[in-house]
Structure formats: structure tokens, C-alpha cells
């Protein structure tokens, strides 16, 4: 699952994947930066 939209997207992901660690969320954000 790739998140391209920053802002509301990362918040939704954080809520959907509550159990995941902050590192995972940070990785998603970094990945978003690369994609964008």
C-alpha cells in the first residue's frame, strides 16, 4: 500500500495501522517524499 497524498493520507494510515511502530509510519512518509 503506497500513500502518495500527504497530510490527511498519512493521518488516515496512522489510524488504520495503529499497531505499527512510528518507524513504519516514518518510512511511509519518507517513501511518499521519494514518490512525490
> Which cell numbers hold the place of 13?
494510515
Q: What is the dihedral of CA 8, 35, 2, 26, to 10 degrees?
A: -70
- Tally of CA atoms within 13 A in the half-sphere of 35 that contains its CB: 12
Beta strands in 1-36 (DSSP E): none
Cell 517524499, residue? 33
Number of domains forming the structure of the chain: 1
pLDDT of 19? 61
Which domain, by its residues, includes 33? 1-36
pLDDT of 25? 76
Tell me: the pLDDT tens digits for 1-36? 555 555 555 666 656 656 667 777 778 888 776 555
pTM for this one? 0.31
- Which helix (H) or strand (E) element contains residue 27? helix 22-35
Amino acid at each position: 500500500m503506497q500513500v502518495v497524498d500527504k497530510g490527511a493520507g498519512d493521518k488516515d494510515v496512522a489510524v488504520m495501522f495503529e499497531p505499527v511502530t512510528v518507524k513504519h509510519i516514518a518510512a511511509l512518509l519518507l517513501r511518499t517524499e521519494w514518490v512525490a
